[in-house]
A and B are shown apart, each in its own frame.
Chain A
Amino acid sequence: MKGYDRITVAVAKGRILADARSLWERAGFSWPVTESGRQLWFPPQPDRPGLLIARAKDISTLVSQGIADLGIVGMDVLREYPDASVLEVADLHMAQCRVVLAGKTAEWPQGPCRVATKYRRIAEQFFQDRQHPIEIVPLSGSLELAPIIGLAPYIVDIVDTGNTLREHGLTEIATILPSSALLIANASHWRTKPAAHAVRALFQQEAVGKESMA
């Protein structure tokens, strides 16, 4: 009796969800999501934890409020929306990417400049550490268009292979934050539900195993 039927894991939609499926199945749990289904909540069963699928920004809220015991979400989202009431308990070594500063050339910005981003906090901290004045242009998507249409000469965005940047004639100037999917935990549930530790151990074992094979 591992108590998995008392654990719920919230997983971020998108690329992390696809990687989480692989991790979930390697850990020995059956994946409840069907290809055609639109269901987002799968209650816990004796042989697997419950699964809750939500937007990346909402994962730490679901975990901090105790709706989910554990969550899988990118480090970039956790650094942009920090919440000390959730615990980061494992690096799952998947959905690896990085938050970068990019522009039309590889040169560091000269003087005060505009930076388009959906990572306001990360970008402000990065430039503040370097004592470089910037004006943030908040955007929620299609950031790579900003330098082309003259909205801002620089962007701070998440990249995986860098293909999208190259296709838009942009070059990476600096890596701000290497990111991967982390397992987070509700602090109360972490200290009162041993099964949460068992799920972490399984995920960690599989994540590290895959990382060392790569």
Chain B
Amino acid sequence: MQEWLRQNTQQYRLMTALITMLLDQGFSPVPTEPTQNTRFRQDHTQAILELLASFRSGSWPSPLKVFSTGPLYQPETLHWSETIDVEVLGPQEPSSDFVALDLVGRLMSELSGPADDLLLVFGHVDVLARCLLAEDVDPQSGHAVRKLLMAGHLMEAETILARSAPATRELCAPLPFDRFAAGLPAPVRPMLDSLRPVNDRLDRLLTTRWDLSLTGNWPYYTGLVFALYLPGVGQPLLHGGRFVMQTGETDWQGIGFTLHLDPLFQFSGASAKVGSST
């Protein structure tokens, strides 16, 4: 029992350390319900935005930085996982992308210091669509490719790409920034140039890769998507992306990510930094 209580204590220390870091970075908590429309919550974003949309004054700070805590339900596996969801709301792109990704770097740095074994993989659903257009793939087929990738049907997507968009197919594997950028069609390359500073900054803390087969779990993603992996850990430590979503009469733009506490706990390994701080 002692070991079980010790592990629970460590996990709560990790959670409170992350929440403290978010508060220190100017993020405000938004309490959300674990059920939405009589279903268990699978995503915090919509619940956060519905709550915020109930304030009609419109005088929000920009960017609006919020977070929500609590478990998410995965219906495929009937599994609950403890999470913290972080959102940077505002139209500014790429500056709010920088805020969100800078926060990822700070959080990981606080938990462990520089960690070369951490792999931050970026995808970009808009870059994917433009690459396909550049290879004369019609938008309907491009949409079908994205749907296949979102559903995890990599093999079917690769088969279509190999036939109709071989250059895009080559970008569907984790590649370093420069190799990825060199493989992009010339008209698309400027989109990535604007993200080079944030890539370079994060590359100093962890390893970054770019992979167009990463499209994120949700259909509302419109641009940059990302997932943080640790070799040997079977779930991403965090994942998220830039989105556009409408709730009621409010159109939201922003970038967000979900921190998964179980794999993060494995990563921190009850590290001295978190575990001995209290």
Chain A interfacial positions (CB closer than 8 Å to B): 61, 64-67, 81-91, 182, 185-189, 191-193, 197
Contact = CB atoms under 8 A, between A and B. Distances in A.
A66 B234 contact: yes
B231 A89 contact: no
Residue of A64, A65, A193 ringed by the most chain B CB atoms within 10 A: A64
B151 interface: yes
Give the secondary structure class of A's interface.
mixed
Interface residues of B, number: 27
A89 B229 contact: no
26 contacts: A61-B77, A64-B234, A65-B77, A65-B235, A66-B233, A67-B234, A81-B76, A82-B76, A84-B151, A84-B152, A84-B217, A86-B152, A87-B152, A87-B154, A88-B154, A88-B155, A89-B154, A91-B155, A187-B152, A188-B229, A188-B230, A191-B209, A191-B227, A192-B119, A192-B229, A192-B231
Given A66-B234, A191-B229, A90 B152 contact: no
A121 to B, nearest CB: 12
Nearest to A67: B234
B235 A188 contact: yes
Nearest to A190: B154
Contacts of A88: 152-156
B231 A83 contact: no
A82 B153 CA distance: 11
Contacts of B230: 188, 192
B155 A182 contact: yes
Interface string B220-244: 0000000101111111100000000
Interface in B67-94: 74, 76-77
B203 interface: no
A188 B234 contact: yes
Contact of B233 (A61, A81, A84, A188): A188
Residue of A87, A189, A197 ringed by the most chain B CB atoms within 10 A: A87
A64 B75 CA distance: 13
B131 interface: no
Contacts of A193: 231
The 10 closest A-B pairs by CB, nearest first: A66-B234, A83-B76, A192-B231, A87-B154, A188-B229, A87-B152, A84-B152, A88-B155, A192-B229, A88-B153
